[in-house]
Chains A and B, each alone.
Chain A
Amino acid sequence: MSATFDRGINAFKEVLDAPIASFFSSCVHCGLCAEACLFYTETGDPKYTPIHKLEPLRRAWQQEYTLLGKLAKLTGLAKAVTDEELAEWGPLVYDSCTLCGRCSMVCPVGNDIAYMVRKMREGMSAAGHAPEGLVTATTRAIQSGSPAGVKWVTVQAQIKRMQAEFGIEIPVNQENADYLVLMSSWEILNYPEYLGAVGRILNQAGATWTLAQDAYEATNSGIQIGASDLARELVGRIVGAAERLKVKCVISPECGHAYTAIRWEGPNLMGRPFGFEVKHILEVLDDLRRAGRLKLKGTLDKPLTYHDPCQISRRGGVYEQPRTLLNQLAPQFKEMADSGVMNWCCGGGGGVSANERAEPLRMTVFKRKKAQIEELGVKTMVTACANCRVVMEEALEHYHMNVEILGLTELVAEHLDEEQ
C-alpha cells in the first residue's frame, strides 16, 4: 500500500464534521486570523493567513457536503480538488502552522482553525503530502518507540545517572503506583534532569510512581503528521502500560503535544474513556502544593519570564498553575505582553520542529518571541515544554541572544525543602 490522492480525499470526507461545516459557513474573509498568526505577522505574506491554509479542505467540504457546491461541481462551475493543489498546500499546512490555535482565539465568527488544520492533516498525510522530516520522525516513533530513535537502553543510562546524581531510587514497571511518569525524547536526550526532578518531588511528596519500560515516550508524531491510526498505536502503548501497571495517574511531561495527545486526543483515539487520570506535570505540582505536599524554600531572584507552551495553556487549560509556582519561587517574575491563553508560539510546535524544510521559516517567525523577550529585558525564561525549549534555544543561538531557558519542574525541584 501507499499514500494516494484518493485516500487523501477520502480522509477529508471522514474528518469533515458539523463544527468544520459551521466554521466554513461562517468565514467572511475578514483577515483577522492573519493578524493573530506569527507566520503572517513576521513575514507579511498573505498566503500564511490561517484560513487560507484550509482552502482545499473547504472546497472538498463544499463539493462533497453542500447541495450548491455539488451542483457547481457537476455543472463544471467549480473545479474539483487536485493532487497538485494538495502538494502546493503541503508547506502551508505543515510548515507554517504549529497548531498553536491563536487564530482560533481571535476569529470573530468563532472558527477553530487549529482544529481544522489538525483534521486536514489527516487527508494530507493519507495523500502523501506530509513533509519528509515528519514522515521520518513518525516512522521512527512507530518502529523504535521514539521519534528521535531513543531506545530503552538510553533511558536506562539516564536512570542510572539520575540515581547517582540525586541519590534517589527510580522505580521501573512498578504496579499500583500513584503515577506513571513519561518523558519526551528531548528530555531523555537533552534534559535528563527532568527525570531527577520529578523523582525528587514525588518522593518528597510521599507519592509512589514508576517508569514503564514499554511506554517511556510521551510524544506522539502521529498527531503532528495527522495520522490517527498511527497516533492511536503510539498512545495505545501508554494506555496499555498504565492499565497493566494499574497506575492511578499518568503524568504527561514538559511537552505540549504529548499532553494534547494523551489528555485530550487519547480517549478519542482509543475510542473509550481511560480508567486512570492524565495530568500535566504542572497540574501534579499544583495538586501537591495545594495538598501541602510540596515544600519549597528559597527563590530564584533574577528577572525572568514564563513562556506559555500553546498546547499546555491555550489548548490545554494549564496557565494558572505555572504562575502560582513562579510567584512563589521568582520574586522578579514578569509577564510578557501577550501571555497565558493569548501567548505567541515558539514557532516550532505542531511538528514544525521535526520538519527540516521549515527551518528557515521557523527562524524568521521567532522574531516575535525575540521582540517579546527584548521588550521585557530578561535574560531568563522559564517554560514547561521541552520542544519549545529546544526550538527557542536554537533560535536564540541563531540570533546570538544570551538568554537561558529553564524547565519549570527542574526549577521547582531545585527549591525543594528536602530537610523537612
Chain B
Amino acid sequence: MAIDGPTIAEVLRQQGISRRGFLKFCATTASLMALPPSMVPAIAAALQHARRPSVIWLSFQECTGCTESLTRSHSPSIEGLILEQISLDYHHTLQAASGTAAEAAREAAMRENAGKYLLVVDGSIPLGNAGFSTIAGISNLDMLKETAAGAAAVIAVGTCAAYGGIPAAQPNPTGAVPVSAIIKDKPVLNVPGCPPIPVVITGVLAHFLTFGSLPELDALGRPKAFYGESIHDRCYRRPFYDQGKFAETFDDEGARKGWCLFKLGCKGPVTYNACATTKWNQGVSFPIQSGHGCIGCSEPGFWDAGPFYKALSMPIGPAKAAIGAAAVAGLAAGAAVALRNRSAKKSAQAAHQKVTIDDLEKSK
C-alpha cells in the first residue's frame, strides 16, 4: 500500500537485479505494452521514478472469466512481475480476507491512496434493480460511484465492464450498463474482450505503472496500441481472403489448408483487437489459427450482432420474411393499382368521341 515508497527501479535493485536485468525488464515491458523497442530508454527512464500503485479491483455482473484470464497468464512471468509491482489491495476473488475485513481493506486503500489509486472493474452494472447484484449489502452502482470518486483512473476490464457485455444482451433484463455509462468525471479505459487477452490487461497496468498515466485511447476508450487494427488486417490468413480462397465448412479441404474463415462467420474484419499478433497461451495460437472464426467478443454489441456462423455480409434480420410479406403487399397494391389503371383506361376509351375532319381544329 506504500504509494510513497521506493520507486520500481529501486525495488528491483533491492531485489539484486542488475542494470542489465532492469533493461531486460524494460525490453519485455515494451513488448508487453505493444510499444516499439525504440521506447525502451523512455520506459527505463520512467521506471526510475515510478512507484507501486495501489489497485482496487471490483467485480460486478461478471463470470470471473476476466480474472481467470489474468491469473492464467503464465505466472511467474513478466505479468507476474508486474503484478508484484502493484499493490492489489482489494479483489474479492483473489484476496484472503472476507466479509467486513475485506471491505475494511478497500476503505483503507481508498483513504490512504485517495486520488492516486487505480480502480479496475470487471462486470457490468445493473440499473434495473439495485438488488440484482450487491457486495456486502452495497449495490454495484453505489460501490462503483463510491470507489471511483477517489480513483486516479478507472480501467474497465472485459466486454461487460467496457460495453455491457452478455448481461446487456437483448432484452437486458437487469438494465446492465458499462462503467463508462456511470463514471463521467474520470478517465475510463476499456480493455474489452470476453475475456481480454491477459497480457493486454497487464500491458495496460504496466503502462500506468511505468508512465503513471493511461495510454492513448481510441474513440471507444480502448488503448490504440492493442486495439488499433482489426483481426482481419493482422491475420496471417488474410492473403487467402484476397485470393478468394475460403473454407466452406469446418472440415473441408479449405479448412484443412487453413483458408480464410470469412464464409464461416469470422468477424475478424470488424473486430479490433491484438489476438492475431499477441495471441493467447504464451503466444501459442488464437481462435483463427485454431480453425474457428473470430466472434468479435471485444466489440460493443457483439452479443446482438448476428449469428457467429453467418458470414459478415449475410443478412441477419428477417429479410426473407420481409421480402415475402412485401411481395404479398406488392401483389395486393399492384392488383389495386392495376384495376384502377384498367378502369381509368377503359373510361378514357368510353369517353372517346369519334374524330371527324371537323374535329381537327379548335373552334375559333
Let me know if chains A and B touch directly in the complex, using CB atoms closer than 8 Å: yes
- Given A65-B341, A65-B344, A67-B337, A14 contacting B360 (CB threshold 8 A): no
- Given A65-B341, A65-B344, A67-B337, A14 contacting B352 (CB threshold 8 A): yes
Are B353 and A227 neighbours in the complex by a CB distance under 8 Å? Answer: no
Are B362 and A14 neighbours in the complex by a CB distance under 8 Å? Answer: no
Are B345 and A2 neighbours in the complex by a CB distance under 8 Å? Answer: no
- Given A3-B361, A135-B360, A64 contacting B355 (CB threshold 8 A): no
Are A227 and B358 neighbours in the complex by a CB distance under 8 Å? Answer: no
* Residues of A close to B320: CB separation below 8 A: none
- Given A13-B345, A67-B337, A227 contacting B355 (CB threshold 8 A): yes
User: Bound state CA distance, A2 and B356, in angstroms?
Assistant: 9
Are B360 and A138 neighbours in the complex by a CB distance under 8 Å? Answer: yes
Residues 364-417 of A at the B interface (beta carbon under 8 Å): none
Q: A10-23 CB contact bits vs B (8 Å, 1 = yes)?
A: 11011010000000
Is residue B349 within 8 Å, beta carbon to beta carbon, of the partner chain?
yes
Is residue B348 within 8 Å, beta carbon to beta carbon, of the partner chain?
yes
- Given A16-B345, A65-B341, A1 contacting B360 (CB threshold 8 A): no
User: Bound state CA distance, A11 and B363, in angstroms?
Assistant: 18
Are B349 and A2 neighbours in the complex by a CB distance under 8 Å? Answer: no
Are A128 and B348 neighbours in the complex by a CB distance under 8 Å? Answer: no
- Given A14-B349, A64-B344, A67-B337, A139 contacting B355 (CB threshold 8 A): no
Task: Quote the shortest CB–CB distance from A61 to chain B (angstroms).
Answer: 10
Are A227 and B349 neighbours in the complex by a CB distance under 8 Å? Answer: no
User: Bound state CA distance, A228 and B355, in angstroms?
Assistant: 8
User: Bound state CA distance, A139 and B361, in angstroms?
Assistant: 11
* Residues of A close to B356: CB separation below 8 A: 1, 229-230
Are B355 and A125 neighbours in the complex by a CB distance under 8 Å? Answer: yes
Are A2 and B363 neighbours in the complex by a CB distance under 8 Å? Answer: yes
Task: Quote the shortest CB–CB distance from B340 to chain A (angstroms).
Answer: 9
Q: A125-156 CB contact bits vs B (8 Å, 1 = yes)?
A: 11110100001001100110000000000000
Is residue A279 within 8 Å, beta carbon to beta carbon, of the partner chain?
no
Are B357 and A142 neighbours in the complex by a CB distance under 8 Å? Answer: yes
Are A126 and B359 neighbours in the complex by a CB distance under 8 Å? Answer: yes
* Residues of B close to A65: CB separation below 8 A: 341, 344-345
Are B344 and A227 neighbours in the complex by a CB distance under 8 Å? Answer: no
Are A10 and B357 neighbours in the complex by a CB distance under 8 Å? Answer: no
Is residue A295 within 8 Å, beta carbon to beta carbon, of the partner chain?
no
Are B344 and A2 neighbours in the complex by a CB distance under 8 Å? Answer: no
User: Bound state CA distance, A127 and B355, in angstroms?
Assistant: 11
Are A2 and B358 neighbours in the complex by a CB distance under 8 Å? Answer: yes
Task: Quote the shortest CB–CB distance from B364 to chain A (angstroms).
Answer: 9
Is residue A211 within 8 Å, beta carbon to beta carbon, of the partner chain?
no
Are B361 and A2 neighbours in the complex by a CB distance under 8 Å? Answer: yes
Are B352 and A225 neighbours in the complex by a CB distance under 8 Å? Answer: no
Is residue B184 within 8 Å, beta carbon to beta carbon, of the partner chain?
no
Is residue B354 within 8 Å, beta carbon to beta carbon, of the partner chain?
yes
Residues 314-364 of B at the A interface (beta carbon under 8 Å): 333, 337, 341, 344-345, 348-349, 351-363
Task: Quote the shortest CB–CB distance from A141 to chain B (angstroms).
Answer: 9
User: Bound state CA distance, A2 and B341, in angstroms?
Assistant: 27
User: Bound state CA distance, A143 and B352, in angstroms?
Assistant: 23
Are A3 and B360 neighbours in the complex by a CB distance under 8 Å? Answer: yes
* Residues of A close to B361: CB separation below 8 A: 2-3, 128, 135
* Residues of B close to A173: CB separation below 8 A: none
Residues 260-307 of B at the A interface (beta carbon under 8 Å): none
* Residues of B close to A125: CB separation below 8 A: 355, 360
**How many residues of A sit at the interface, in one of the four size bands?**
20 to 34
Are B344 and A126 neighbours in the complex by a CB distance under 8 Å? Answer: no
User: Bound state CA distance, A125 and B362, in angstroms?
Assistant: 10
Residue among A2, A10, A143 making CB contact with B359, cutoff 8 Å = A2
Task: Quote the shortest CB–CB distance from A69 to chain B (angstroms).
Answer: 11
Residue among A14, A64, A139, A228 making CB contact with B357, cutoff 8 Å = A139
Task: Quote the shortest CB–CB distance from B166 to chain A (angstroms).
Answer: 46
Is residue A4 within 8 Å, beta carbon to beta carbon, of the partner chain?
yes
* Residues of A close to B341: CB separation below 8 A: 65
Are B358 and A1 neighbours in the complex by a CB distance under 8 Å? Answer: yes
User: Bound state CA distance, A228 and B352, in angstroms?
Assistant: 12
Are A10 and B344 neighbours in the complex by a CB distance under 8 Å? Answer: no
Is residue A7 within 8 Å, beta carbon to beta carbon, of the partner chain?
yes
Task: Quote the shortest CB–CB distance from A251 to chain B (angstroms).
Answer: 28
User: Bound state CA distance, A222 and B196, in angstroms?
Assistant: 84
Please give me the residue from chain B that is nearest to A122 by CB atom.
Answer: B355
Are B348 and A13 neighbours in the complex by a CB distance under 8 Å? Answer: yes
Task: Quote the shortest CB–CB distance from B362 to chain A (angstroms).
Answer: 4
* Residues of A close to B358: CB separation below 8 A: 1-2
Please give me the residue from chain A that is nearest to B354 by CB atom.
Answer: A229
Q: A226-243 CB contact bits vs B (8 Å, 1 = yes)?
A: 011110000000000000
User: Bound state CA distance, A389 and B356, in angstroms?
Assistant: 30
Are A7 and B353 neighbours in the complex by a CB distance under 8 Å? Answer: yes
Task: Quote the shortest CB–CB distance from A2 to chain B (angstroms).
Answer: 4
User: Bound state CA distance, A351 and B122, in angstroms?
Assistant: 87
User: Bound state CA distance, A11 and B360, in angstroms?
Assistant: 13
- Given A10-B351, A16-B345, A67-B337, A143 contacting B357 (CB threshold 8 A): yes
Task: Quote the shortest CB–CB distance from B350 to chain A (angstroms).
Answer: 10
Residue among B344, B345, B348, B355 making CB contact with A230, cutoff 8 Å = B355
Please give me the residue from chain A that is nearest to B349 by CB atom.
Answer: A14
Task: Quote the shortest CB–CB distance from A128 to chain B (angstroms).
Answer: 4
User: Bound state CA distance, A34 and B91, in angstroms?
Assistant: 81
Q: A97-130 CB contact bits vs B (8 Å, 1 = yes)?
A: 0000000000000000000000000000111101
Residues of B within 8 A of A (CB): 333, 337, 341, 344-345, 348-349, 351-363
- Which 10 residue pairs across A and B have the least CB separation, nearest first? A13-B348, A2-B363, A128-B362, A229-B355, A139-B357, A135-B360, A227-B355, A14-B348, A142-B357, A3-B362
Interchain Cβ contacts under 8 Å between A and B, 6 examples: A2-B361, A13-B348, A14-B348, A67-B337, A125-B360, A139-B357
